Amino acid sequence: MSTPDRLGQTVCLLDDDPSVVKATSRLLSSAGWDVESFTDPLEFLSHAKICCPRVVVLDILMPVMDGIEVQRQLRNASPSSRVIVLTSKDDPSVRAKAMEAGATAFFVKPVGDHEFLAGIESAFSQN
C-alpha cells in the first residue's frame, strides 16, 4: 500500500508520555508525514516560535503547562498553526475550551488510527 505524497508536511507532536510520542510518531510516519516530537511544552513553544508548524498534535494533561495553555501560547506564536488535541481527559468542559480556542479536532485516547489520520489530513487541508 502506497502513502500519499506528503513531502514537506510535518506534524509537531507534544505529549509528556514518551510511549505515546513513540507510538503516535510511528503511526504518522507510516502514513507519510514527517514528525517532530516533543515531551516538554516549553521546548515545543520555543520551536514553534521559530518554525510556525502547520499542524500540531498536543496532549492536555502535562506537568509544567497543560495543553490548553500551550494552545493559547501557540496561537500567539504561530496563529496559522492547526491544533489537534489527543488526550486521555474525556471532559466536556476541556473539549469545549480546546475547540473554543480554535482546535481543529479533539480525540480521546485511544483513538482509531483511521479517524485520527483523517483528522490530521483535514487539518493540513485547512492551511
pLDDT tens across 61-70, in order? 999 899 999 9
Residue 57's H or E segment, with its range, is strand 55-58
> Is a pLDDT exceeding 90 seen at residue 1?
no
Does the pLDDT value for residue 4 go beyond 80? no
Cα within 13 Å of Cα(116), Cβ side = 20
Residue that has been written with the C-alpha cell 485516547 in this structure = 109
User: Distance between CA atoms of 95 and 67, rounded to whole angstroms?
Assistant: 11
Q: Whole-prediction pTM value?
A: 0.92
The yes-or-no verdict on residue 91 having pLDDT over 80 is yes
Give Dmax (Cα) for the chain.
41
From the list 88, 83, 79, the residue with the least C-alpha distance to 61 is 88
Instruction: Walk me through the domains of the chain, giving residue ranges and CATH numbers.
Output: 10-125 (3.40.50.2300)
Identity of residue 104: T
Rounded to whole angstroms, how far apart are CA atoms 96 and 48?
24
Partners of 83 in the beta sheet? 56
Q: b/e per residue, 110-126, with b = 16+ CB within 10 A?
A: ebeeeebbebbeebeee
